Amino acid sequence: MNKLITLSVGIAMGITLALLSVLCALTFALWPNTTLDFFSAFTHGLGHGAIKSTAPMSAGRVLDGIVGLGLVGLIAGVVYASIYNAVASGRRYSQAAAGKQRPPS
């Protein structure tokens, strides 16, 4: 198994979540009720209409969401890659000890 570069995975995850945040903001700006209905499907039909904000969308709030989700993605990606590398490394050594493969050089 290949070792993941933790920062690269974190950056990729951060960019991915930031882009999803932009897409979400755009769809909510264009079709607010349809977007809420769509995300209600992900939460097993819980109605999100009650939590709909009455404040208008502002560029600052959208930017906060983009940056916030980007940072969450960065941290999640680094944690994911670190755990993956630890698990993959442990499996390589346990398989080598069992004689199934040679230890990495």
What's the pLDDT tens digit per position in 26-71?
999 999 888 888 888 888 777 777 777 778 889 999 999 999 999 9
Amino acid type, 55: A
The whole-angstrom separation of Cα 68 and Cα 13 is 13
Residue 22, class by beta-carbon neighbours within 10 Å (0-12 exposed, 13-18 middle, 19+ buried)?
middle
pLDDT in tens, 4-31: 999 999 999 999 999 999 999 999 999 9
CA contacts within 13 A on the Cβ side of 55 = 7
What does R_g of the chain's alpha carbons equal in angstroms?
A: 20
The whole-angstrom separation of Cα 21 and Cα 69 is 7
